[in-house]
Amino acid sequence: MSLPADLADLLLTARAVLRERIAPAVPAELRFEAAMVANAMAIAARADRGLPGAAEVEGLRRLYPEAADAGPEALRRRLVAEIRAGRLDATGRHLAAHVLWPRVRERLALSSPEYRTGL
Partner 1 sequence: MSEPFSTEERARLEGWLAAALGAREVRVAAARRLSGGAIQENLALELLVDGGPRAGRHALVLRRDAPSTVAVSRSRLEEYALLDAAHRAGVPVPEPWCACADPAVLGKPFYLMARVEGEARGARLVKDPVVAARGPELAAELGRVLARIHGLRPPLSDLPFLATHADPLAARIAELRGHLDRLGEPQPVLEWGLRRLERARPGSGEITLVHADFRTGNLMLREGRLVAVLDWEFACLSDPLEDLGWMLAKCWRFGAVERECGGLGPREPFLSAYEAASGRRVDRRAVRWFELLATLRWAVVALLQAERHSSGRERSLELALTAHIVPQLEADVLDYAALLEGEGG
The rounded distance, in Å, linking the Cα atoms of 34 and 27 is 10
Which residues make Cβ contacts (< 8 Å) with residue 74, sequence separation at least 6? 67
CB of 17 to partner 1, least distance (A): 18
Taking the CA atoms of residue 114, residue 105, residue 3 and residue 30 in that order, the dihedral angle to the nearest 10 degrees is -40
Question: Taking contact as CB under 8 A, which single stretch among the options 2-10, 11-19, 20-28, 102-110 is the one that binds partner 1?
Answer: 102-110
Length of the chain: 119
Question: Taking contact as CB under 8 A, which single stretch among the options 1-9, 11-19, 20-28, 81-89 is the one that binds partner 1?
Answer: 81-89
Residues in contact with partner 1, shown as a per-residue x/- string from 45 to 74 under the rule CB under 8 A: ----------------------------x-
**Number of residues in contact with partner 1 under rule CB under 8 A:** 36
Alpha helices in the chain (DSSP H): 5-17, 31-45, 54-63, 72-84, 92-95, 101-111
Residues in contact with partner 1, shown as a per-residue x/- string from 10 to 49 under the rule CB under 8 A: -------------------x---x--xx-xx--x------
